[in-house]
């Protein structure tokens, strides 16, 4: 008979959110909290390998200034900083219209508005040394095939026959988790009728730490600075256009993309591998149950136009960890429903505001209706003319619009 392994917290998914939560729980770990980190992929933190957790792919992530500050407090930024590019300026513009706004780090009295980093580099930094942390056991590669909730929390059956019993199960295994369905957790899904085309481009001039948010006739496009003359690109295209644009030869693709932004970035001279994924606002109808929490894309998946998906998920994880660290210190049950509901209530406003903003922006700037065109251009002109409004808008974009969670 297989022996049952006992842990306090089991985290499904060693992607960016799951790995971050392990570090956020350091105060409780130092007091004996036992964590199991489970992922379908092998974890090789120190190796340059293609075998990475699913969220560590060729894409890049925009880290808000608040996220960078949190990583610095956790001692993780030193492992990430060399691979991250600072965003010091942001230009927001609407193709064919006068509305335009600029955000600058110096207006916020910070060295950067945010940072851009390839997911693979971010993942390597978050996983560095994770296999040596006290009270952390890795199960990777491993697949949790069955979950049974019981009086003591949750029991997981892994594909190799091992059984884990945990006080609290954290599901951070993405938006298509079969285990969430197994538990009867439902998600609402509102398709946008668009795809995100993700790639990298190289230009003939330095980016000088400028990021560009361009609302074009083809859809919103984000140009995020990476290396000295390269950008990560997220281009929103209608479902009926994505196949044709993906199939364009590199030269024609670059010309099509150049038409959307003009020459403000310089001449586009090279494009990397292109990938695509359908866009939808996906929200779990439940984020907590007794002994269960959903985090990251398992809880909510946002439109990438504002670059806030991971930053919101990390704030969720930080607030959850704050509650769990405090409860463990007081010898309270980590799966207690009232505890988990308190976490959910604390994050409700932040989640609602971020989700609404990420949902409204692509609809507002994707519309060709003259009334909405007037509204959005007036808004951009207003931001350009009002330093106070610009600073407030910038603070929310930087992830500083709410109280920071205590991580130590």
- Spell out the domains of the chain, with CATH numbers in brackets: 4-188+280-397 (3.50.50.60)
| Per-residue pLDDT at 381 | 47
For residue 134, is it left (φ>0), alpha (ψ between -120 and 50) or beta?
beta
On whether the CB atoms of residues 261 and 214 are closer than 8 A, the answer is yes
For residue 382, is it left (φ>0), alpha (ψ between -120 and 50) or beta?
alpha
Nearest to 91 by CA among 189, 194, 231, 198: 231
Residue 348: CB partners within 8 Å, gap ≥ 6?
Answer: none
| Per-residue pLDDT at 303 | 85
Nearest to 110 by CA among 77, 65, 62: 65
Q: DSSP readout, 177-241?
A: -HHHHHTT--EEEEEEEEEEEEEEEEESS--TTEEEEEEETTEEEEEEE-STTEEEEEEEEEHHH
Distance from C-alpha of 265 to C-alpha of 271, rounded to nearest angstrom: 14
Distance from C-alpha of 353 to C-alpha of 315, rounded to nearest angstrom: 13
| Per-residue pLDDT at 389 | 45
| Per-residue pLDDT at 290 | 97
User: What pTM did the predictor assign?
Assistant: 0.88
On whether the CB atoms of residues 7 and 36 are closer than 8 A, the answer is yes
pLDDT per position in the chain (408 positions), as tens? 466 899 999 999 999 999 999 999 999 999 999 999 999 988 865 544 444 444 445 589 999 999 999 999 999 999 999 999 999 998 888 776 656 778 889 888 899 999 999 998 999 999 999 999 999 999 999 999 999 999 999 999 999 899 999 999 999 998 777 888 889 999 999 998 999 999 999 999 999 999 998 887 777 899 999 988 999 999 999 999 999 999 999 999 999 999 999 999 999 999 999 999 999 999 999 999 999 999 999 999 988 877 789 999 999 999 999 999 999 999 999 999 999 999 999 999 999 988 888 887 766 655 555 544 545 555 544 545 455 544 554 555 565 555 556 666
| Per-residue pLDDT at 218 | 74
């Amino acid at each position: 008979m297989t022996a049952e392994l006992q842990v306090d917290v089991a985290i499904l998914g060693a992607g960016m959110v799951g790995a971050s939560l392990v570090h956020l729980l350091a105060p409780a770990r130092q007091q004996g909290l036992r964590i199991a980190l489970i992922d379908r992929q092998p974890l090789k933190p120190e190796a340059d390998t293609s075998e990475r957790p699913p969220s560590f792919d060729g894409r890049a992530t925009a880290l808000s200034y608040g996220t960078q500050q949190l990583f610095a407090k956790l001692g993780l930024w030193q492992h990430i900083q060399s691979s991250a590019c600072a965003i010091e300026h942001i230009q927001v513009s609407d193709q064919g219209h006068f509305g335009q706004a600029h955000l600058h780090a110096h207006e916020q009295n910070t060295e950067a508005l945010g940072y851009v980093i390839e997911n693979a580099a971010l993942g390597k930094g978050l996983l560095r040394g994770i296999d040596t942390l006290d009270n952390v056991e890795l199960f990777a590669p491993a697949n949790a095939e069955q979950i049974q909730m019981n009086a003591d929390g949750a029991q997981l059956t892994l594909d190799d026959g091992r059984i884990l019993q945990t006080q609290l199960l954290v599901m951070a295994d993405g938006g298509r988790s079969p285990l969430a369905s197994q538990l009867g957790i439902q998600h609402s899904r509102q398709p946008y009728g668009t795809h995100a085309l993700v790639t990298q481009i190289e230009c003939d001039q330095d980016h000088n730490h400028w990021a560009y948010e361009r609302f074009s006739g083809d859809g919103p496009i984000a140009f995020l600075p990476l290396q000295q003359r390269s950008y990560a690109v997220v281009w929103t295209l209608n479902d009926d256009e994505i196949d044709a644009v993906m199939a364009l030869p590199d030269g024609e693709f670059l010309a099509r993309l150049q038409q959307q932004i003009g020459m403000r970035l310089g001449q586009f001279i090279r494009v990397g591998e292109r990938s695509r994924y359908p866009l939808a606002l996906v929200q779990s109808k439940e984020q907590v149950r007794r002994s269960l929490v959903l985090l990251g894309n398992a809880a909510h998946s946002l439109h990438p136009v504002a670059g806030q998906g991971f930053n919101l998920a990390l704030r969720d994880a930080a607030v959850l960890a704050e509650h769990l660290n405090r409860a463990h210190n007081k010898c309270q049950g980590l799966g207690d429903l009232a505890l988990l509901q308190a976490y959910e209530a604390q994050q409700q406003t932040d989640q609602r505001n971020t989700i609404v903003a990420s949902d409204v922006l692509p609809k507002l700037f994707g519309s060709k209706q003259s009334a909405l065109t007037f509204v959005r251009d007036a808004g951009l002109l207003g931001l350009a003319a009002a330093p106070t409004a610009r600073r407030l808008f910038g603070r929310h974009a930087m992830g500083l619009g709410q109280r920071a969670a205590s991580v130590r």
